[in-house]
Amino acid sequence: MARAGFVKQIESWNYWNYHIRKINWVKTPVSNPNYRVNNNLGYLKKDLHHHKKGTGS
């Protein structure tokens, strides 16, 4: 699927785990962040304190 088609699918809520960012004025599909530290999706910074080693979580 071409980028433009994928963007339309995301905007139609057919891919709920992706969102659109404008990069250099081009609509670009990107994966939503998650809470895993062992992949390139990262996790939300506001929840960083819940995932530090030794916090019991």
pLDDT in tens, 44-57: 554 444 444 444 44
Token couple for 36: 């895993």
Instruction: Please indicate, yes or no, if residue 43 is contained in any of the structural domains.
Output: yes
Instruction: Please indicate, yes or no, if residue 23 is contained in any of the structural domains.
Output: yes
Q: What is the total count of domains within the chain?
A: 1
pLDDT tens profile 4-55: 999 999 999 999 889 999 999 999 999 887 776 666 665 555 444 444 444 4
Instruction: Please indicate, yes or no, if residue 14 is contained in any of the structural domains.
Output: yes
Instruction: Please indicate, yes or no, if residue 7 is contained in any of the structural domains.
Output: yes
**Which range of residues forms the domain containing residue 28?**
3-51
Q: What share of the chain is helix, strand, coil (3-state, %, to 5)?
A: 30, 20, 50
Token couple for 4: 């433009």
Q: What is the pTM of this model?
A: 0.60
Instruction: Please indicate, yes or no, if residue 57 is contained in any of the structural domains.
Output: no
Instruction: Please indicate, yes or no, if residue 56 is contained in any of the structural domains.
Output: no
